[in-house]
Amino acid sequence: MQQPAISEYGYLSDCRSGALVSRAGSIDWWCPNRFDSPSVFGRLLDPDGGHWLLAPVAVGQPGHQVQRAYQPDTLILRTVHHTPEGSVAVTDALAAEVGARAHDFGMRSPAVLLRVVEGLSGRVPMVLDYRPRPEYGLLTPYLRELPDGAVTAAAGPVELALRCDGLRLRAEHDRVRHTFTVEQGQVLGFDLAYAPAYGDPPARLDPVRTLADTTLAWQAFRESHGYDGHYPEMVRHSATVLTGLTYARSGAVAAAATTSLPERIGGDRNYDYRFCWLRDFAMTLRALWVAACPTEASRLFDWAARSIGRVGPDPVPVLFGLEGERDVSEHVCPHLVGYAGTGPVRVGNDAWLQRQLDVPGEVISAVWRLRHYLGDQLPAELRAMVIGLAEQVAVTWRLPDRGIWEPRDRERHYLSSKVLCWVAMDRAVRLAPQLGGQADVRRWAGIRDEIRAMVLRDGFDERLGAFTTAFGSSTLDASALYLPVVGFLPATDPRMWATIEAVERDLGGADGLIRRWDGDPAGFVLCSFWLVECLVLAGERERAARLFERVSGHANDVGLFSEQIDLTTGAHLGNMPQALSHIGQVNAAWRLTEPTAE
C-alpha cells in the first residue's frame, strides 16, 4: 500500500483521544485511552501498525471519486464515494457521551469510534478490513466471535469490540475482512469500542443514534461561543480543531494529535507532540479568547497553574503531560519504520529536560491577558506563581538556553528567549497592583530595561541589517517576527521593519510561506501567520490580508494544517493537525479585524 500524504487525513476527536482517517477510508491512527496513550491503529507510522478500512471495493480504481467535508461546526467527517456502481457516504466520528452538551462535551467520552454507511445511489460493493495492533503495533490480539455477530480483540491492557447490527462479522486469525453491498437508502452503523482489559467491558452504543447525538453535542458546543470578526468560517473551524485537541478532563491543549510525523522525509526531526507546551500558552489563550471560548481559556489556565505548582529554583519545564505529568521521557520504538520510512518513531519528548528561558514570559503574559477576568487582586497561589516566575527570570535571564525551536545540540543566547524574559519582567511590573506587597517592582523594572538594552545592542546585526537568531549570530530567524506581536518593538521601528523585510525576502517561499531559518526544509505555518500580524502592525493591512488568504489556502481539503508546508510541492509535513498552525490563523484573523486588539 502506498503511504497516503499527510494532507489526505481527516481528524476525529472526542476531546479524550484523536483518530486520523484517510481519503481512502482507512483509520490509520487511534490512541483510544487519551491522546498520548499507545495506539491501537498505527499504520500511519508502519505498514503493520494496524488499521480499519471501510470503503467501496473500487477505492483507487478508475471511476472512483471522493468528496468529503466536516458536518458544520463539528469534527464529524462525511466522505462521499462515487463509483461506477453508485455512490455511498461514510460518516466517521468519535462518540460523545450520550446527552453531553456544551462544556460537558468530552468529560466522559466513551472511547467509541462510529462509522455509518449510507447508500446514496446504485448498489455499491464495500469492503471492511479491520486489523487492530495495540501497544504501537507490538501486540497481535486474539479475536473472538460473539453470538450477536460482534468480534472482540483482546491483547495486553486493551479490549476492543467491533459491531454492526446488520452484519455478522467473521474473524480471520488476526483480522476481520468482510465484503458486502450497500443499496440506495440502506444505512449500516458500525461501532468500535475500547475498554481497559481489567475494567468494565467496552460500551455498546447504537451507531446511528449516537452519531446524531454527537453531532448535536458538537454543534451545541460551538453555539455557546461567538466570534465577531473577519474570516468567521475559518476562525470557527480552527477553534473547533483546537477544541478537538483539548483533553477535556484537564483543559490541556495538545500540540498535535500525532507523534513522529517528520519535518522532512528522510530526516530525523520526528518528535512526539501529544503534550501541552507552556511556550504555546499565551498564544493559545489569546486564540481561545479571540474565538470567544473563555471557559476553555480559563480551564487551560487552571491546568497550567496546577501543573507548574510551587515555583522553586529549578526551571519550569517547557511541556507537561495532559494531566500535568512532568516526566515525559522519550524512547524510540525500533519496531516501527516511521511515516514513509522516516524514523525514528519517538514516544515521549525529552524537551521537558531542556532549559528554555522563554517559558515564564509566556505564563506571566497569559496572566496579564486574563488580568481583568482575575479580579483586583490575584488569588494567593497565583500571586505566588507569578512572583516566583518573575524571580526565576531575574536570576536566570543571563544564561544560555535551547530557544524556541528546541535544538538538541548546544545552548546559546537566543534572541527570542531574551525577548520573552523581557516580556516576563514587563508584564510582572504591570501586574504589580494585583500582586500585593511582595512585588519587587523597582528591581523588576530595572532588569526589564537591562534586558531590553542588551537585546537592542547584541541582537541586531548591523551588517545583516536585521535581528538575528542569537547574540553573536549573523543568521536570520523567523522567531524575530514575534517581537512586534509581544510589544517589544513597533513593527514600524526601522530595525524591526528591516528585519520583517529580510525574513520575508530571504526565508520566504511560494504563497507567503516562511521558513524558520536558512536551511529549514519547509515553511512553518505559524511563522507565516506571524508575518501577517507584523504587516498589519506596520500599517500594511491590504498586503497582510492577501498573505493571510494565501497561507490559509494551504490547509487541506477539510481545513486542517500540519506543522509545515513544503515550499516546492505544497506537501504537508510534521505532526497533524498542529495546534500552533490553527492558533496562528485565529490570531492573524483577529489582528486583521482589530489591529490594536490585545
Residue 170 neighbours by CB under 8 Å, 6+ apart: 145, 151, 176, 178
How would you label 339-361 residue by residue, b for 16+ Cβ within 10 Å and e otherwise? beebbebbbbbebbebbbbbbbb
Distance CA 470, CA 147 (A): 66
Helices 294-308, 281-290: inter-axial angle, 10-degree rounding: 160
Q: Which of these, 578, 550, 515, 562, lies nearest to 6 by C-alpha position?
A: 562
pLDDT at 512 (0 to 100)? 86
At 103 the pLDDT is: 65
Length of the chain: 598
Question: What is the predicted pLDDT for the residue at 247?
Answer: 94
Q: Which three cell numbers stand for residue 433?
A: 497592583
Helices assigned H by DSSP within 7-91: none
Closest CA to 460 of 493, 506, 435: 493
| 598 residues of the chain, pLDDT tens digit each | 579 999 999 999 999 999 999 999 999 999 999 999 999 999 999 999 999 999 999 898 888 999 999 999 999 999 999 999 999 999 999 999 887 776 677 678 999 999 999 999 999 999 999 999 999 999 999 999 999 999 999 999 999 999 998 899 999 989 999 999 999 999 999 999 999 998 888 999 999 999 999 999 998 877 767 788 999 999 999 999 999 999 999 999 999 999 999 999 999 999 999 999 988 887 888 888 887 677 777 788 888 888 998 888 788 899 999 999 999 999 999 999 999 999 999 999 999 999 999 999 999 999 998 888 878 888 888 899 999 999 999 999 999 999 999 888 889 999 999 999 999 999 999 999 999 888 999 999 999 999 999 999 999 999 999 999 999 999 999 999 999 999 999 999 999 999 999 999 999 987 889 999 999 989 999 999 999 999 999 999 999 999 999 999 999 999 999 999 999 999 999 999 999 999 999 999 999 998 554 4
Backbone angles phi, psi at 433, to 5 degrees: -60, -25
DSSP state string for 300-321: HHHHHHHHH-S--SSPPPSEE-
CA distance 38 to 56: 29
**DSSP-based helix, strand, coil % in the chain, nearest 5:** 35, 25, 45
Distance CA 296, CA 279 (A): 18
Q: Write the DSSP symbol of residue 578.
A: B
Q: Looking at this protein, which amino acid is placed at residue 483?
A: L
How many Cβ atoms sit within 10 Å of the Cβ of residue 367? 25
Model's pTM, two decimal places?
0.96
The reported pLDDT for the residue numbered 1 is 58
Residue 598's pLDDT is 45
CA distance 77 to 68: 7
Q: Helices 380-396 and 359-369: crossing angle, nearest 10°?
A: 140
In the chain, what's the furthest Cα-to-Cα distance? 78
Domains and CATH numbers, the chain: 6-223 (2.70.98)
What pLDDT is recorded for position 60? 85
**C-alpha distances in Å from residue 567, one per residue of 508, 519, 575:** 9, 12, 17
Cell reading at 145? 466471535
Torsion sign, CA atoms 376, 380, 385, 390: positive
State phi, psi for 238 to the nearest 5 degrees: -65, -35
